[in-house]
Amino acid sequence: MNAPPLSPQMTARAAVELLTLGDELLDGRTADGNTLRVARALETLGLSLNRRTTFRDDRVAIAQAFQDVSRRADLCIVSGGLGPTTDDVTVAAMALAADVELVFDQAQWDRIVARFAPQTPPENNRRQARIPVGATALSSDVGTAPGLYLELGGCTFFLLPGVPDELQWHLDHHVVPMLAVHLAQLGLVRKRPTIYLRCVGIGESALAQRIEALPNLAWVEIGYRAGELDLELSLRGDDPEEVERFAQAVEAVGAGYVIGRGRAGLAERVVEAFRGRGLTFGAAESCTGGLLGATLTGVPGASDVFRGGIVAYANEAKTALLGVKPALLAEHGAVSETCARAMAEGARRLLKVDIAVSITGIAGPGGGTAEKPVGTVCIGVAGPHGVASVVTTHLRGARERVRQQSVARALEAARRAVLSLPILESET
Amino acid sequence: MNAPPLSPQMTARAAVELLTLGDELLDGRTADGNTLRVARALETLGLSLNRRTTFRDDRVAIAQAFQDVSRRADLCIVSGGLGPTTDDVTVAAMALAADVELVFDQAQWDRIVARFAPQTPPENNRRQARIPVGATALSSDVGTAPGLYLELGGCTFFLLPGVPDELQWHLDHHVVPMLAVHLAQLGLVRKRPTIYLRCVGIGESALAQRIEALPNLAWVEIGYRAGELDLELSLRGDDPEEVERFAQAVEAVGAGYVIGRGRAGLAERVVEAFRGRGLTFGAAESCTGGLLGATLTGVPGASDVFRGGIVAYANEAKTALLGVKPALLAEHGAVSETCARAMAEGARRLLKVDIAVSITGIAGPGGGTAEKPVGTVCIGVAGPHGVASVVTTHLRGARERVRQQSVARALEAARRAVLSLPILESET
């Protein structure tokens, strides 16, 4: 593999830009997930984006943008507009910007023909085999669109397809390896030591506040990525020992919320914890309506530990299926620790599992009272020695957020029961 | 409400830009969902974005961008950087671009103080009450950050918070109403006749292919929005009769997949169909692990119709909970129409509901065989007169996609059972 013609001054301080192209990104049709893909690929090299610009499928405007970017950036990733239709103008715009002709690349056309075999590609796919003079095609194993790279005005451009899977393939197989070669040739070790911490039950700003109170470690860079269930913290620096010291300090101020190192998500960790001890998992859900089971079974291989669940949304279902006594419901209400306890025990018995977890709460927007406002959620865990834990938590946010956080708390409660750890504190 | 100082030439052909600001949008932390929110809000006025640019929290670079945009656009929406921390530089950048001072707005500060009551806002929240001379603050009922608008070089800028809920609130309560007033004052009826069609069980490209074969109606604009469960098609034109004729043509070529008009999603329509007939719903799930119940209960008010569900992930759970006979499982396998039938009947009996729906399939990545490849899913519906339908479908895509599409098919099967419509064809 040859390194692209990058300028030798392209270092950690390089100016890197992203252009995402296509009407669909501006008219409310498509959410742009490609920026994340590109940013994360660059991050592995210690590079980061300065700017992203999105244009409609307008050849002249895009050509102008290529020229503008070439004056201020060292590297530019471009996504979109490499398809076979007349909307796809990226390559033509680059030829216009560079003031060169498009030439037919027989090798790329052969790949496209092979991809369609035994059918013949439609005539308009020939467009995808045309590349600007001076550019190098980047073959793809996914999709028909080749990528390409070329140098314009001292800036290296990678033109990549906008289809997410195809873009990712090009990033993984061409862009990152080529840039790594280039950076290594410059004697720049780009990969910086990084520690990832996974956190549950605490928001980004609350955690940031605790971290900001730590002694200033300006040489450790902190990144936050909030997911539906949990929060990933990345700590990156130049000195591995500094990063390690800082990680330990974060683990201390985030005690009870930092659940481990590495990039595995909460649901994966739960499956792993159960699998490691040969234990089985069952669910009893009310306000989450099945989301706990759906989340856990989103992990491939969850069948090793997950047996099933009871979704007892209506009170009659809590009684008929889980054996929650009507008198209990009448006295304490469905959203109560007593009910959560009875649901977990009922599910454990019925599903014949080692550990069953229950969720009952008020997800909103309706159903809240002064005593039990929207966001009140009770979570119970029943294990081989009876009820292992039952806790009431008060969650903030809209219905879906309350449901997701309920699932996160329930999964974490199950994980702690398996690991015999103290249960998660209530919301701070 | 006063209309903002928009230039009179701002029409359907107005140049509209979006600036999204914040390091987190460029370093791989946060996916940008705000572009969709802004694009969809503008669409209701017949306006669309020409360009979107994203910058880091860099006051001078952002000020430069404001000046550049003011030279080429009539309207610019800006999101992000209005928070109370030093990263939040948007307002200061605007003061720099306009070469004006920041002044303290007592009314906005009073609102912030009221919002924190009975606590006192931290001192750094005072930053949020400072606005550039010549700008007008836009109060918010959600979050502490006021928005603001001002005119710079003939372009109207709206500066809005980047927190999604707060941005949406400002769009709904300030930006769209103000622009509507302005456009009406210019005598421009901005709202173009639009028909929305909701489709299930067909992909965007397959539907597009059918629609492209229709007689060319260049004056009807077609938009596709693929969701997790369904696909929204928007047909927009200038002449309501043309749009209506085209909608009928699409309904004809999409027969069996177009499930209705309007913007309500599939899950909402299912709840509505059951509620309208006073019927109750129950679920029996295997490979979806609870996702059917979770999806239905994502609709506020689902408790009117949804009683509960059984997640029988392991075969023993299918037998113990739903009464699926071990001999049936041994002979036909868990992924079979016979099993789907037994699961639906078992759930209907157990949950005492009018209609129960079952899903059993192979979501992948493992578990496929030559006879039953990954994506094979059986869906059963049991009603008051026995089994109403049972169907095997072959779904494409990764695990999560197969699970989502299984839920979509099951919900649509339930809706059709309630409406006594023919069941959805298998995948095309």
The three-state DSSP-derived secondary structure of B68-125 is: HHHHHCCEEEEECCCCCCCCCCHHHHHHHHHCCCEEECHHHHHHHHHHHCCCCCCHHH
Looking at the structure, tell me whether residues A202 and A177 fall in a common domain. no
Q: Which of A288, A294, A398 is closest, CB to CB, to B288?
A: A294
Residue B95: alpha-carbon gap to chain centroid: 35
Tell me if A325 is assigned to some domain: yes
Mutate to test the interface with A, among B27, B36, B72, B359 (most CBs of A within 10 A): B27
Tell me if B117 is assigned to some domain: yes
Across chain B, mean pLDDT equals 89
- Domain housing B242: 194-261
Please report the DSSP string for A247-307 in residue order: HHHHHHHTTTTEEEESS--HHHHHHHHHHHHT--EEEEESTTTTHHHHHHTTSTTGGGTEE
Looking at the structure, tell me whether residues A214 and A300 fall in a common domain. no
CATH number at residue B111: 3.40.980.10
Count other C-beta atoms under 10 Å from residue B197's C-beta.
Answer: 21
Are the beta carbons of B32 and A27 separated by less than 8 Å?
A: no
Retrieve residue B117's tokens: 């009551």
B72 touches chain A (CB under 8 A): no
Q: What is the pLDDT of residue B319?
A: 97
Examine the pLDDT at A331 and tell me if it is beyond 90.
Answer: yes
Rounded CA-CA distance A33/B184 in Å is 36
Q: For B8-58, where are the alpha helices, taking DSSP H only?
A: 34-43
Average pLDDT over residues A196-218: 84
Looking at the structure, tell me whether residues B305 and B245 fall in a common domain. no
Boundary (domain end) residue, out of B208, B235, B261 = B261
B residues 389-408 near A, CB within 8 Å? Answer: 399-400, 403
Looking at the structure, tell me whether residues B25 and B137 fall in a common domain. yes
Q: What is the pLDDT of residue A21?
A: 94
Please check whether residue A412 is in contact with residue A200, taking contact to mean a CB–CB distance below 8 angstroms: yes
User: What residues are paired with A231 via a beta bridge?
Assistant: A199, A226
Looking at the complex, report in whole angstroms how far the Cα of residue B31 sits from the nearest Cα belonging to chain A. 6
Contacts of B320 in chain A (CB under 8 A): 350-352
Boundary (domain end) residue, out of B134, B159, B185 = B185
Tell me if A266 is assigned to some domain: no
Q: What is the pLDDT of residue A427?
A: 43
Are the beta carbons of B285 and A288 separated by less than 8 Å?
A: no
By CA distance, what is B407's nearest residue in A? A294
Tell me if A267 is assigned to some domain: no
> Mean pLDDT lowest for which of A332-341, A404-413, B42-51, B146-155?
B42-51
The single-letter code of the amino acid at A309 is G
User: What residues are paired with B258 via a beta bridge?
Assistant: B199
Looking at the structure, tell me whether residues B252 and B154 fall in a common domain. no
Residue whose token pair is 């995948």? B427
Are the beta carbons of B54 and A53 separated by less than 8 Å?
A: yes
The CA–CA distances, whole Å, from B308 to A381, B70, B185, B355, B366 equal 20, 56, 53, 11, 29
A130 — phi, psi (to 5°)?
Answer: -95, 130
CA-based torsion, B90, B96, B100, B102: positive or negative:
positive
Tell me if A401 is assigned to some domain: yes
Looking at the structure, tell me whether residues B34 and B168 fall in a common domain. yes
Counting other chains too, the contacts that B148-154 makes at CB distance below 8 Å and 24 or more residues apart are B148/B91, B149/B4, B149/B174, B149/B178, B150/B94, B150/B98, B151/B4, B151/B5, B152/B66, B152/B67, B152/B70, B152/B94, B152/B97, B152/B98, B153/B67, B153/B70, B153/B71, B154/B7, B154/B70, B154/B74
Please check whether residue B22 is in contact with residue A50, taking contact to mean a CB–CB distance below 8 angstroms: no
Looking at the structure, tell me whether residues B46 and B152 fall in a common domain. yes
Tell me if A9 is assigned to some domain: no
Across chain A, mean pLDDT equals 89
Please report the DSSP string for B343-387 in residue order: HHHHHHHHHT-SEEEEEEE--SSS---SSS-TTEEEEEEEETTEE
DSSP secondary-structure letter at B215? Answer: P
Looking at the complex, report in whole angstroms how far the Cα of residue B16 sits from the nearest Cα belonging to chain A. 11
Rounded CA-CA distance B268/B72 in Å is 42
Secondary element (H or E) of residue B426: none
Please report the DSSP string for B283-306 in residue order: EEESTTTTHHHHHHTTSTTGGGTE
Looking at the structure, tell me whether residues B37 and B180 fall in a common domain. yes
A225 touches chain B (CB under 8 A): yes
Q: Return the percentage of chain A with pLDDT > 90, whole number.
A: 63
Tell me if B268 is assigned to some domain: no
User: What residues are paired with B132 via a beta bridge?
Assistant: B102
Which of helix, strand or coil describes residue B138?
A: strand
Contacts of A365 in chain B (CB under 8 A): 300
B181 touches chain A (CB under 8 A): no
Looking at the complex, report in whole angstroms how far the Cα of residue A39 sits from the nearest Cα belonging to chain B. 5
Average pLDDT over residues B60-83: 94
Looking at the complex, report in whole angstroms how far the Cα of residue B264 sits from the nearest Cα belonging to chain A. 17
In terms of Cα–Cα distance, which of A297, A322, A323 is closest to A308?
A297
Looking at the structure, tell me whether residues B345 and B375 fall in a common domain. yes
Angle between helices A266-277 and A399-419 (to 10 degrees): 30
The CA–CA distances, whole Å, from B170 to A322, A392, B22, B102, B190 equal 45, 34, 19, 22, 20
Q: Which residue has the higher pLDDT, B220 or B374?
A: B374
Looking at the complex, report in whole angstroms how far the Cα of residue B218 sits from the nearest Cα belonging to chain A. 15
A281 touches chain B (CB under 8 A): no
A164 touches chain B (CB under 8 A): no
DSSP secondary-structure letter at A213? Answer: T
Are the beta carbons of B51 and A49 separated by less than 8 Å?
A: no
CATH number at residue B249: 3.30.70.2860
Q: Return the percentage of chain B with pLDDT > 70, whole number.
A: 93
B residues 115-154 near A, CB within 8 Å? Answer: none
Rounded CA-CA distance B428/B426 in Å is 6
Are the beta carbons of A310 and B308 separated by less than 8 Å?
A: yes
Q: What is the pLDDT of residue B1?
A: 42
> Mean pLDDT lowest for which of A198-212, B325-339, B412-426?
B412-426
Q: Which of A226, A303, A317 is closest, CB to CB, to B351?
A: A317
Which of helix, strand or coil describes residue B26?
A: coil
In terms of Cα–Cα distance, which of B166, B178, B159, B106 is closest to B140?
B166
Q: Which residue has the higher pLDDT, B139 or A343?
A: A343
Which of helix, strand or coil describes residue B311?
A: strand
Looking at the structure, tell me whether residues B202 and B150 fall in a common domain. no
Strand order in the sheet with B221-226: B221-226, B231-236, B194-199, B258-261
Q: Which of A53, A294, A350 is closest, CB to CB, to B291?
A: A294
By CA distance, what is B26's nearest residue in A? A49
Tell me if A3 is assigned to some domain: no
In terms of Cα–Cα distance, which of A60, A69, A59, A62 is closest to A18?
A69
Residues 6+ apart with CB under 8 A from A218: none
A and B: number of Cβ contacts within 8 A? 225
pLDDT digits (tens, 9 = 90+) for B141-166: 777 788 999 999 989 999 999 988 88
By CA distance, what is A315's nearest residue in B? B307
Q: What is the pLDDT of residue B119?
A: 76
Looking at the structure, tell me whether residues A23 and A162 fall in a common domain. yes
In terms of Cα–Cα distance, which of B33, B2, B1, B3 is closest to B18?
B33
Q: What is the pLDDT of residue B428?
A: 37
Retrieve residue B191's tokens: 């709202």
pLDDT digits (tens, 9 = 90+) for B235-248: 988 889 999 999 99
Q: What is the pLDDT of residue A64?
A: 96
Average pLDDT over residues A216-245: 84
Are the beta carbons of A36 and B36 separated by less than 8 Å?
A: no
Retrieve residue B280's tokens: 């109750």
Q: Which residue has the higher pLDDT, B355 or B213?
A: B355
Q: Return the percentage of chain A with pLDDT > 70, whole number.
A: 93
Examine the pLDDT at B275 and tell me if it is beyond 70.
Answer: yes
Looking at the structure, tell me whether residues A328 and A240 fall in a common domain. no
Looking at the complex, report in whole angstroms how far the Cα of residue B374 sits from the nearest Cα belonging to chain A. 13
CATH number at residue A354: 3.90.950.20
Average pLDDT over residues B359-387: 94
Q: For A308-393, where are the alpha helices, taking DSSP H only?
A: 315-322, 326-332, 337-351
Kindly provide the ipTM of the predicted complex, given to two decimals.
0.76
Boundary (domain end) residue, out of B185, B213, B246 = B185
Examine the pLDDT at B7 and tell me if it is beyond 60.
Answer: no
Looking at the complex, report in whole angstroms how far the Cα of residue A376 sits from the nearest Cα belonging to chain B. 16
* Number of structural domains in chain A: 3
